[in-house]
Structure 1
Amino acid sequence: MYQIFIVDDDLTVQRELKILLENHGYRATLAKNFTNIPEEIEEQRPDLVLLDISLPSEDGIMLCSKIRMLSDVPIIFVTSQNSSAAELECMLSGGDDFIEKPYRPAVLLAHISAVLRRSGKKENDNVLSFGDLELDLVAGKLRYAQSTAELSKNELHILRFFFEHKGEIVSRDALMNNLWDNESFVDDNTLSVNIKRIRSKLESVGVYDAIETKRGMGYIFKLKRNGADDEI
């Protein structure tokens, strides 16, 4: 699933873009703090950035130049500034495309698809998803609703196994064998400690009761949806 990072201070635009992108199979994330956008991009490593020119902290064109010093991520300017001079500045600063507001959703989606295709980017197989919960296998991080938790090597291996067997009952023996296969030699007590830590880290990002103990059988990994107990 391609990740698209939205940099726009208009809350209505943010919401509309996020809904549009997610309804068409993209993962959309929003800028948290407009004072450190390049650092956020470097941390999240999105596949594409949608960038406005008029931002609260600095001009989007200058921001694009700063991003280019750290990353070659494709950047599409989505802005109400519709002059040829503005478009030229955007492209010279390192932008890959330029779309005027208001835009037609189908046209924006076509531009996004074309820029991703030209960039040669492939969908990120290093990020596993379960609903809105994401496991970054390269960065060793758990993400949910803009919150992030760092994972140890064992925690990452255990969570990966859960993600790959979501909604299934997983025995403790299966988890331990998986850890041994990944050269993490743990005993029964160490597994219990890691499960406890994983539950704590899931809660730290806002996910509760995701790992349910099935007495005598093992665990089942599921997420609650809209406060209900059904699995997604």
Structure 2
Amino acid sequence: MFKIMIVEDDVRIKEILLENIVRWGFDGKVVENFNEVFVEFSKYSPHLILMDINLPFFDGYYWCGKIREISKVPIIFVSSRNNNMDVIMAINMGGDDFIQKPFSLEILMAKINALIRRTYSYADAQTNVLQYKNIVLNMKDNSVFFKDKRVELSRNEFSILYLLMKNNGNLISRDKIMRSLWEDESFVDDNTLTVNINRLRKKLENIELEDLIKTKKRQGYIIL
């Protein structure tokens, strides 16, 4: 089932949008905490976003820009603003379409269906991210996001975190990590692995993930 996230401050419009999205057979989620739009996006992983411009704290342009750093998910701006500069700004920030309030529900749903068909008509509809809880690993630029904070990783650091996140809940031995890095044409011995793990942990501390990687003595590492 396709998932649609609604980022809208008007209570009545939120209700109308959610009701119609569900009626058309989509799964819908309304964002309630406008300080955590990026976190909600990361947790929900929607196939399409309906985004108002006028929002508390940060506007829709800001959140569109943040999401575009890691994802090409379709974004339709739904706004009461009606001058050409607003439309241009919305598209320049990465929006795929713009519909003005008050709007026709029939036209909006037609736009949603058309955009979903165009975007997901291919077998590969990936967003180039790996997500675990509220942590987002961006495979396009070797960076990791958490709570609206971002840090860049080296190739080895990224490979280690990718392996641990992809196998979260499972213990990964040091040998398996080293074999994974070797296959990536980056020879890593036991001492070098320790250095990379320590550097990775240091970077994760900068985005409040100091306890993410657990060590099992003489066994390996695990993310729980």
Question: Which residue number corresponds to residue 212 of structure 1?
Answer: 214
Question: Which residue number corresponds to residue 46 of structure 2?
Answer: 26
Question: Which residue number corresponds to residue 228 of structure 1?
Answer: none
Question: Which residue number corresponds to residue 19 of structure 2?
Answer: none
Q: Does 1:115 align with 2:115?
A: yes
How far off is 1:157 after superposition?
A: 0.9
What does the per-residue CA deviation read over 1:134-162, in whole Å, with 9 as the maximum and x for residues that have no partner?
Answer: 11111211112222111111111111111
Q: Distance in 1 between matches of 2:67 and 2:84?
A: 16
What runs of 5+ residues in structure 1 fail to find an aligned partner? 88-96, 100-106, 223-232
Assess, with a 3 A threshold, how the Cα gap between structure 1 residues 183 and 4 changes in structure 2: closer, same or farther: farther
Q: Distance in 2 between matches of 1:29 and 1:206?
A: 30
Assess, with a 3 A threshold, how the Cα gap between structure 1 residues 182 and 24 changes in structure 2: closer, same or farther: closer
Three-state SS of the structure 2 residue aligned to 1:123 is coil
Name the amino acid aligned to 1:214. K
TM-score for the superposition, normalised by structure 2: 0.65
How far off is 1:127 after superposition?
A: 1.1
Question: Which residue number corresponds to residue 91 of structure 1?
Answer: none
Q: Distance in 2 between matches of 1:44 and 1:123?
A: 14
- The count of corresponding residues between Structure 1 and Structure 2 is 195
* Pairing partner for 1:46 from 63, 66, 72: 72
Assess, with a 3 A threshold, how the Cα gap between structure 1 residues 51 and 63 changes in structure 2: closer, same or farther: same
Cα contact 2:71–2:129 (8 A) shared by 1? no
Three-state SS of the structure 1 residue aligned to 2:185 is coil
Assess, with a 3 A threshold, how the Cα gap between structure 1 residues 213 and 2 changes in structure 2: closer, same or farther: farther
Which stretch has the larger CA shift, 196-205 or 163-172? 196-205
Three-state SS of the structure 1 residue aligned to 2:79 is coil
What runs of 5+ residues in structure 2 fail to find an aligned partner? 15-30
Question: Which residue number corresponds to residue 82 of structure 1?
Answer: 102
Question: Which residue number corresponds to residue 126 of structure 1?
Answer: 128
* CA RMSD, 1 decimal: 4.3
* Pairing partner for 1:190 from 181, 189, 192: 192
Cα contact 2:72–2:127 (8 A) shared by 1? no
Three-state SS of the structure 1 residue aligned to 2:222 is strand
Q: Distance in 2 between matches of 1:98 and 1:22?
A: 28
Q: Distance in 1 between matches of 2:83 and 2:159?
A: 39
